[in-house]
Amino acid sequence: KQEVTQIPAALSVPEGENLVLNCSFTDSAIYNLQWFRQDPGKGLTSLLLIQSSQREQTSGRLNASLDKSSGRSTLYIAASQPGDSATYLCAVSIGSFGAGTRLTVKP
Amino acid sequence: DGGITQSPKYLFRKEGQNVTLSCEQNLNHDAMYWYRQDPGQGLRLIYYSQIVNDFQKGDIAEGYSVSREKKESFPLTVTSAQKNPTAFYLCASSISRLYNQPQHFGDGTRLSIL
């Protein structure tokens, strides 16, 4: 069974910092990996989807990479802003989610 | 705007009662999913449906039931057999259950016990 781990569970940074969120998974036979953002009490908003054949995807200040052989993905956020404060979750294929990293960006 | 609508936003269940959570989508997606989210844990898959009149159990289906009579609708019933129903329930959809398709989520229903 696929196990997905996100470390750290929480992260607090000052505004303007570049930061990296980590996602690791145990079974490298994946179809895709999707990064989501969740605001308190809300549903999930899709940020980036990386297909298994891809190495990375970019959208604005966000860049996600995928290394299937090592079972890792990273989400890079450039020039963080207070509005980036949320919980970030990764999902491997469909149905396997990490517990998320709660990010706080301080003004 | 296309999207997924979940209702109600908050729901309370009494002892021995069944309750039904609504999920409607106007994205013309074939596949729909129900997840449960508990504090500090990742989402866990309850049920999914790939097409109308078909659905499959996920990892934690016990105490839950679903139906898929219309493409747009995938209601979830939390039965009295589910002994720990307090959680945040999320409905999602994707174009199909082919594994290269992204999932889209509703805003969730928070279920509590009275």
Identify which has the larger pLDDT, B1 or B21: B21
Return the number of other C-beta atoms located less than 10 Å from residue A13's C-beta. 16
Q: Quick check: A85 pLDDT over 70?
A: yes
Do the chains contact at B43 and A43, CB–CB below 8 Å? Answer: no
Contact of A41 with chain B, judged by CB distance below 8 Å, is answered with: yes
Q: What is the pLDDT of residue B99?
A: 62
Nearest by CB: A46 against B6, B33, B104: B104
Return the number of other C-beta atoms located less than 10 Å from residue B52's C-beta. 14
Q: What is the pLDDT of residue B1?
A: 62
Across the range A42-60, mean pLDDT stands at 94
Going by C-alpha positions, the residue among B44, B25, B19, B24 that lies closest to residue B34 is B44
Q: What is the pLDDT of residue B69?
A: 97
pLDDT-based confidence at A49, cuts 50/70/90? Answer: very high
pLDDT-based confidence at A48, cuts 50/70/90? Answer: very high
Q: Contacts of residue B44 in chain A, CB cutoff 8 Å?
A: 97
Q: What's chain A's Rg over C-alpha atoms?
A: 13
| Distinct helix (H) and strand (E) counts, chain A | 0, 11
Q: Quick check: B70 pLDDT over 90?
A: yes
> Can you name the residues that pair with B100 across neighbouring β-strands?
none
Across the range A47-70, mean pLDDT stands at 95
Are B26 and B2 in contact by the 8 Å Cβ rule? The answer is: yes
Sequence-distant (≥ 6) Cβ neighbours of residue A81 within 8 angstroms = A15, A105
Q: What is the pLDDT of residue A31?
A: 85
Identify which has the larger pLDDT, A86 or B41: A86
Chain B residue closest to A35 (CA)? B102
pLDDT-based confidence at B103, cuts 50/70/90? Answer: confident
Q: What are the Cα distances from residue A5, in Å, to A2, A38, A71, A74, B76?
A: 10, 17, 10, 12, 28
Average pLDDT, chain B: 92
